[in-house]
Amino acid sequence: MEKGREIFDVAIIGGGIAGAGIARDAALRGLKVVLFEKATFGSGTSSKSSKLIHGGIRYLELAWLELKKGKCHEAWKNFRFVFSSLKESAILEKIAPEMVRPIELVVPIYKKEAQNPLAVYLGTLFYGLLAFLTGNPKTPRILWGKKPVLRLIPHLNPKDLAGGVIIWDHIADDKRLVEETIRSAIQTGAQAFEHALVATYRHNTQTGLYELTVEQGGATKSYSALKLVNASGPWIDKVRHEAHEMGGNLIVPVAGSHITLKKFTDYSVILRAQDKRVFFVINTGGYSRVGTTERIHTDPDTLETREEEVEYLLCTLERYFPGLHFESKDIIAKDSGIRPLAKPRDSQIPHAISREHEIRIGPTGVIHVLGVKLTDHRRAAEEVVDRIVVELVGIRPELKSKKTTTHLLALQS
Ligand SMILES: Cc1cc2nc3c(=O)[nH]c(=O)nc-3n(C[C@H](O)[C@H](O)[C@H](O)COP(=O)(O)OP(=O)(O)OC[C@H]3O[C@@H](n4cnc5c(N)ncnc54)[C@H](O)[C@@H]3O)c2cc1C
pLDDT in tens, 35-46: 999 999 999 999
Percent of the chain whose predicted confidence (pLDDT) is above 70: 96
Q: Across residues 40-57, what is the average pLDDT?
A: 94
Q: Across residues 258-273, what is the average pLDDT?
A: 96
Q: What is the pLDDT of residue 222?
A: 97
Expressed in angstroms and rounded, the spacing between residue 386 Cα and the centre of ligand 1 is 22
Expressed in angstroms and rounded, the spacing between residue 17 Cα and the centre of ligand 1 is 7
What is this structure's pTM?
0.96
- pLDDT classification of 62: cutoffs 50, 70, 90: confident
Q: Which CATH code fits 7-46+175-250+354-401? A: 3.50.50.60
Best residue for ligand 1 mutational test, from 43, 49, 101 (most atoms within 8 Å of Cβ)? 49
Q: Across residues 249-268, what is the average pLDDT?
A: 97
Cβ(242)–Cβ(200) below 8 Å:
yes
What CA–CA distance (Å, rounded) separates 374 from 342? 15
Whether residue 352 has pLDDT greater than 60: no
pLDDT in tens, 113-137: 766 788 888 889 999 999 999 999 8
Expressed in angstroms and rounded, the spacing between residue 345 Cα and the centre of ligand 1 is 22
Through-space distance between the first and last CA atoms of the chain, rounded to whole angstroms? 38
Q: Which CATH number fits domain 102-170+252-344: 3.30.9.10, 2.60.290.11, 3.40.190.10, 3.40.50.720?
A: 3.30.9.10
What CA–CA distance (Å, rounded) separates 15 from 20? 6
Can you say whether residue 114 is alpha, beta or left, with left for phi > 0 and alpha for psi between -120 and 50 degrees? Answer: left
Pocket lining: 58 vs ligand 1, CB cutoff 6 Å: no
Domain with CATH 3.30.9.10 in the chain: 102-170+252-344
CA distances from 226 to 23, 384, 388, 392 (A): 15, 14, 10, 8
Which ligand 1 atom minimizes the distance to the CA of 372?
A: 19
Q: What is the pLDDT of residue 65?
A: 83
Which ligand 1 atom minimizes the distance to the CA of 258?
A: 1
Expressed in angstroms and rounded, the spacing between residue 83 Cα and the centre of ligand 1 is 23
Expressed in angstroms and rounded, the spacing between residue 43 Cα and the centre of ligand 1 is 8
Chain mean pLDDT for the chain: 93
Q: What is the pLDDT of residue 404?
A: 93
pLDDT in tens, 280-291: 999 998 999 999
Whether residue 350 has pLDDT greater than 60: no
Best residue for ligand 1 mutational test, from 22, 46, 198 (most atoms within 8 Å of Cβ)? 46
pLDDT in tens, 77-117: 889 999 999 999 999 999 999 999 999 999 999 987 766 78
Domain with CATH 3.50.50.60 in the chain: 7-46+175-250+354-401
Pocket lining: 231 vs ligand 1, CB cutoff 6 Å: yes
What CA–CA distance (Å, rounded) separates 87 from 105? 18
Expressed in angstroms and rounded, the spacing between residue 47 Cα and the centre of ligand 1 is 7
Q: Across residues 129-154, what is the average pLDDT?
A: 94
Question: Phi and psi (nearest 5°) for 130?
Answer: -60, -40
Peptide bond into 298 cis (omega under 30): no
Q: Across residues 326-339, what is the average pLDDT?
A: 97
What CA–CA distance (Å, rounded) separates 235 from 19? 13
Pocket lining: 37 vs ligand 1, CB cutoff 6 Å: yes
Pocket lining: 228 vs ligand 1, CB cutoff 6 Å: no
- Residue 314: closest CA among 334, 300, 296: 334
Whether residue 345 has pLDDT greater than 80: no
pLDDT in tens, 290-315: 999 999 999 999 999 999 999 999 99
Cβ contacts of 4 within 8 Å, gap of 6 or more: none
Composition of the chain by helix, strand, coil, percent to 5: 35, 30, 35
Specify which residues 367 forms β-bridges with.
Answer: 229, 361
